[in-house]
Amino acid sequence: MISLDFSFNILTRDLSYYLENQVKVGLFGSGVGLSLVLGFSAAYTCYYLISVAKKPQLISGGKKFYQFLREQCPVVSETYYPTFWCWESRIQTLLRPFVTAKPGVVYRNELIKAADGGQISLDWFDNDDSLSHPDPATRPTVLLLPGLTGTSRESYILHMVQQSRDLGYRCVVFNNRGVSGETLLTPRTYCAANTEDLETVIEHIQRTNEAAPIMAAGVSMGGMMLANYLGRKGRETCLKGVVVFSAGWDVFECTASLEKPLDRFLFNSYLTSCLQASVHRHRPVLEKCYDIDHVMKARTIREFDERFTSIMFGYPTNDDYYRDASPVHRLKSVQVPMLCLNAADDVFSPSHAIPVEAVKQNPNLALLITCHGGHIGFLEGLWPRQSTYMDRVFKQFAKAVIEQGSRLQDLS
């Protein structure tokens, strides 16, 4: 028994000596540990460069628009290098609001009346210090549409305002009813299918600055609303061009993807609670027309839409609403140059639902698909605080539309 204990003590001592000296020295010196670290780093770098960092796929329905983008927006041809430590879709989506900076922007708020007696909140960045466009009457205007529960204070909106400021342009952010602190005057909010408020806003912007060119950018649901608007209006719009980021093209596929267990836990439940918080904030005016207690029990976006959104906008069923809200059905009618950026790994807009074939049939459309980027992520660089791939696409396309717009007048 004494011999066994003695042997065990010797073994323990020898193992401790090896761990304290060989492995410890190896990790930070020249031993086995360093070799493992270097080997793993080399393998990860090879995997990243071969499988993660790739050039985006550019698809267009016409050679003229395709060539225009290649010449005026070099970013569409460059390899997209996602941030190497957070290139996975969900991580990009979750981290973007926290790691990207929020540039300081001072807005001028304006409340305009809607046809039903409601009010719409617009946040203007006038850019009166613009050197390239000092005359406010002709200063180009960029209309920005945030996502589902977003406002003018979202980091991605602030970044686009900053990019527009650098170009010398004016910005105006269209906040959907009831989300930016204004009082809801009528029992009506917003949805992706209804574009009446957007039409009111665009007409107001045009009347305010009749000589200024206008383009628009929409993110997520804001992009869906823009695409539906263009599909309805055809050529009857003053917009010179549109860029859409991370739009959901088929709402049925989007909601099905977000109802998968992990994505429901990470995204769906949170967004549903944000929608419910907005309803609760305006409960006094909404409870006159809707069963708010029933709405507050919804656990998914689909349940929320079944109990609230589809009823508010008069659809017989929620499926009817989802069908009308899906921009894929209106892409053939778009008559304004529209660039769409989607990531193939976006769980909000799954790759199989990205309308590649529909885009190929319309010379006014172009689709830019990255392998990675998540939903409104597109983080790049070692520490992606100041700029994203999406920001670069926006800035180059906005400049091209405003300054070379004459080349886009007839893309057929």
Catalytic-labelled residue, pool 60, 130, 152, 220: 220
Residue 60 parent element (H or E): strand 57-60
Residue that has been written with the tokens 């609001």 in this structure: 97
Q: Is 263 one of the catalytic residues?
A: no
Mean per-residue pLDDT over the chain, rounded: 92
pLDDT tens-digit map of 103-135: 999 999 999 999 999 999 999 999 999 999 999
- Asked if residue 80 lies in contact with residue 373, where contact means CB atoms within 8 angstroms, the answer is yes
pLDDT tens-digit map of 169-195: 999 999 999 999 999 999 999 999 999
Helices (H) and strands (E) in the chain — how many of each?
18, 9
Q: Is 14 one of the catalytic residues?
A: no
**Average pLDDT estimate for 327-355:** 97
For position 398, what pLDDT does the model report?
98
Residue 3: pLDDT band with limits 50, 70, 90: very low
For position 213, what pLDDT does the model report?
97
Q: Which long-range contacts (CB under 8 A, 24 or more apart) does 83-88 make?
A: 83/379, 83/380, 83/381, 83/382, 83/383, 83/384, 84/48, 84/52, 84/382, 86/379, 87/48, 87/52, 87/372, 88/345, 88/372, 88/374
Amino acid, res. 222: G
* pLDDT at 409 > cutoff 60: yes
Catalytic-labelled residue, pool 257, 372, 375, 387: 375
For position 18, what pLDDT does the model report?
40
Share of the chain above pLDDT 90, in %: 84
Catalytic-labelled residue, pool 346, 349, 372, 391: 346
Question: What structural domains does the chain harbor?
Answer: 56-249+330-408 (3.40.50.1820), 251-325 (no CATH)
Q: Is 346 one of the catalytic residues?
A: yes
| pTM summary value | 0.90
pLDDT tens-digit map of 262-312: 999 999 999 999 999 999 999 999 999 999 999 999 999 999 999 999 999
Which parts of 234-268 fold into alpha helices (H)?
Answer: 251-258, 261-263
Give me 48's structure tokens: 């990243």
